[in-house]
Amino acid sequence: MLITKHAEIIIYNIPEVIWDYASDPVNWSASNPEEHFGLNIDSEDNRPKTGATFHQKETVAGLFADLRGHFLYVEKPRITVWRGITTYKVLGGLIRPGIPEGGVIKIENLNGSCRVSHDVYMDFPDTLFGKIMLLYFKKFLGGEKAVYDHTYRELVFFKKHLDLDLAGVV
pLDDT tens, residue by residue, 71-96: 999 999 999 999 999 999 988 888 89
Per-domain residue ranges of the chain: 2-165
Cα dihedral sign for 33, 57, 156, 107? positive
Distance separating alpha carbons of residues 154 and 150, to the nearest angstrom: 7
Distance separating alpha carbons of residues 43 and 144, to the nearest angstrom: 32
CA-wise closest residue to 4 among 133, 99, 101, 86: 101
pLDDT exceeds cutoff 80 at 169:
no
pLDDT at residue 91 in the model: 84
pLDDT exceeds cutoff 90 at 65:
yes
Structural domain 2-165, CATH architecture: 2-Layer Sandwich (3.30)
Element (H, E) at 41: strand 36-42
pLDDT at residue 126 in the model: 94
DSSP state of 1: -
Distance separating alpha carbons of residues 72 and 144, to the nearest angstrom: 24
Q: Is 6 left (phi over 0), alpha (psi -120 to 50) or beta?
A: beta
The answer to whether the predicted template modeling score (pTM) of the entire model surpasses 0.85 is yes
Q: Is 91 left (phi over 0), alpha (psi -120 to 50) or beta?
A: left
